[in-house]
Chain A
Amino acid sequence: MDIRIENLFKRYGVQAAVDGVSFQVKTGEILGFLGPNGAGKSTTMKMITGYIGIGGGDILIGDKSVKLHSAELKKHIGYLPEHNPLYEEMPVMDYLRFCAELQGVSPADVPARVRQMIVDCSLDAEKHKKIGELSKGYRQRVGLAQAMIHDPEILILDEPTTGLDPNQIIEIRKLIRELGREKTVILSTHILPEVEATCDRILIINKGRIVADGTAESLRRQAVGQQVLVVKIEDAVEAEVAAELARLRGVTGVTGIDAAAGSWQIQAVPGSGVPRELFRLCVERRWVLTELTPVETRLEDIFRNLTLN
């Protein structure tokens, strides 16, 4: 099921939490939702799930508006909220059974679904404990199991990996990737490598507005604007190297990382052939080039760039 969001608004008092957001997610796509705290990520997600009412604009899920078909659409959405509220006095199995029944899973399917979720979310060791006795990681898994118990076509996960240990994070990411093949997944997170590892597309939101939308690659291309190289040149005089490097065509800046040892960082115009020129220069001057590494712009930098300004 596709999700189409058109000019979405939400106000909390005078403050606009979501201010005219529009985007689309297709079936089989995993969308990573990024943004600083208070950017409007959770609010947008809550509006998609029907957790809170929408202020303005519209959300269309499979061509049906949440304004008109809210109850029907809720059956197709699995949602893991940020704070993950749970009935603490209930045992895990009972809770999952309750959620499955509430979602209208037929009584014959309920035990199988509960078992499947316990396997998928590795809850086997704790399945008879009360939820209140579980650690944060296990609670998160229970929340995730609840979101998926009725096998929804849309999964909205608000920071799904918080509180999980590294092994579990990898497992959950794998699970999300698998689910994402046939479902529509929107997930928000603060862990940027996670977005790159899991998501097909990234949406960065700041102060209620979308500031970037695309794959990790395309975002990089947009944001970079310059090529960064790290080089190490040996058997050369420091001052001479600095001067010569700066003189190369296409180079916009040279900074020494450890100049005495021959390590330099070069900023250059992309596609100006600086690496070739550099190699020729070294041959000409009989310098020994021991390292030439293109530095990728990190997603963190892109994020900072887009959300701090």
Chain B
Amino acid sequence: MKFITVISKEEDLMERLLRRLPVFGAGGRRGEQGDLDERGRPEEGSMRHGREEQGDLDERGRQEEGSTGLGRGVRKGQGEVALHPFWVIVGKEMSDHIRSWRFIILLSLIGLTCFGSLYTSLNNIGTPKAGPPGANGAFFFLQLFTATDGTLPSYVVFLNFLGPLLGIAMGFDAVNSELNRGTLSRLLAQPVHRDYLLNGKFVASLLVIATLFFSLALLMTGLGLIFIGIPPTAGEFLRVIAFTLLTVLYVAFWLNVSILFSVRFRQPATSALTAIAVWLFLTVFYPILVRLVAKAFAPDPGPVAMMDGTLAGYQHTVVNLLRFAPGQLYSDATTTLLMPAVRSLGPLTMEQVTGAIPNPLPLGESVLIVWPQLVGLVAATFGCFVLSYISFMRKEIRAR
């Protein structure tokens, strides 16, 4: 009880302070007793405050709202604007995610791989590398994310297959579990638009994912800084940020896939399994399938084919086919961003090599190379979202 009194005292203090700030105008909570008394005659209250705060924009807005004549219930926005329902849903979903065991388990898994790969790359980074000088050496810091000695995959490779899992885990029961429990229709009986729910869920998950990956990337940068003692250059730092944004985008794609399935399928187990099946197919079976088919159509690797471009064209086709898998797009893009020496994805032609100085590319050029991959990922993410949006908006939600 003592604890509660302390809290309420603090709240009162906060309110008094807030009221003094001009931004919050005539904020203030009515006393609990006054609450009941005033309910019957709200006009008096609004008149009183209205006179005091003529210039207050929020207050004026509130009076207009009140003057629509439709009763009033709890008086809204006494100097403070009520939180938009969309952000209320986002806040609730975020706290749900953060508290859920599912998220905690995945967080610890990703954290573990992050530190594991950091450890291997730190061990590896210390040994001098044989190879063309200057190529990767200039971007020493970025090796934290990519370097490996073969015992443990690098952070980038880990994210390539753990990221989708995180995305799927956060979205597979987004809509169907609420539908099954009946909370969906109860939520929609509140004054919220139907699409707020889906958008809110998506934005909340995206925010959680973005926070997670940015913290991990910054943590790795910080730890790297401590252990190798060389600060990253501005270019390297920007590349890390670009890589993290790309990772968020990649996970957002899988999040949308699983949200789509959660709208389509009634049972969360079905949608989770379907999403995992799609993920397995695209990351494991699809490349195998493409290579098998490609082998059958491979041209004779003679000097003629090499010269007239048949071989190069064939290889282009194979790589492009592989790029239907989002994992391939992601690994293409991350490789280019984190290894500035990479100047082309796919087979190099003679024209590209002639006259080129073997130097790392600036960030702008690297981004230019992966632009199609980025657009592809954004388009796929957006496409999935549009599909789930349409099917959610058209879904008949019958209350139980």
Contacts and interface: CB of A to CB of B under 8 A. Distances in A.
B contact patch SS: loop
A111 B4 CA distance: 12
B71 A62 contact: yes
Interface in A26-84: 46, 49-52, 62, 64, 71-76, 79, 81, 83
Contact of A104 (B8, B85, B95, B185): B85
A76 B96 contact: no
A72 B183 contact: no
A152 B73 contact: yes
Contacts, number: 128
Given A109-B30, A113-B74, A152-B73, A101 B83 contact: yes
A19 interface: no
A94 interface: yes
B76 A105 contact: yes
Given A86-B183, A106-B76, A112 B189 contact: no
Contact of A71 (B81, B96, B191): B191
A99 interface: yes
B11 interface: yes
A75 B191 CA distance: 6
A76 B70 contact: yes
Given A104-B85, A105-B76, A116 B35 contact: yes
B15 to A, nearest CB: 6
B182 A104 contact: no
A26 B138 CA distance: 80
Nearest to A52: B399
B74 A74 contact: no
Q: How large is the interface on A (under 10, 10 to 19, 20 to 34, 35 or more residues)?
A: 35 or more
A81 B29 contact: no
A150 interface: yes
Contacts of A98: 88, 91-92
A8 B85 CA distance: 31
A108 interface: yes
A81 B400 CA distance: 9
A247 B190 CA distance: 65
B195 to A, nearest CB: 13
Interface in B5-40: 8, 11, 15, 18, 27-32, 35, 39-40
A282 interface: no
Interface string B72-108: 0111111111110100110110011001100000000
Contacts of A104: 76, 82, 85, 191
A82 to B, nearest CB: 8
B80 A107 contact: yes
22 contacts: A62-B70, A62-B71, A71-B191, A76-B71, A81-B186, A85-B186, A89-B100, A98-B88, A102-B88, A103-B191, A104-B82, A106-B74, A106-B82, A108-B27, A108-B78, A108-B80, A109-B30, A115-B8, A116-B32, A150-B73, A151-B74, A182-B39
Interface of A: 1, 46, 49-52, 62, 64, 71-76, 79, 81, 83, 85-90, 94, 98-99, 101-109, 111-113, 115-116, 119, 150-153, 182
Closest 10 pairs (CB-CB, A-B): A85-B182, A74-B191, A153-B71, A101-B88, A151-B73, A104-B82, A151-B74, A112-B29, A51-B189, A51-B399
Interface of B: 8, 11, 15, 18, 27-32, 35, 39-40, 69-71, 73-83, 85, 88-89, 91-92, 95-96, 99-100, 181-183, 185-193, 398-400
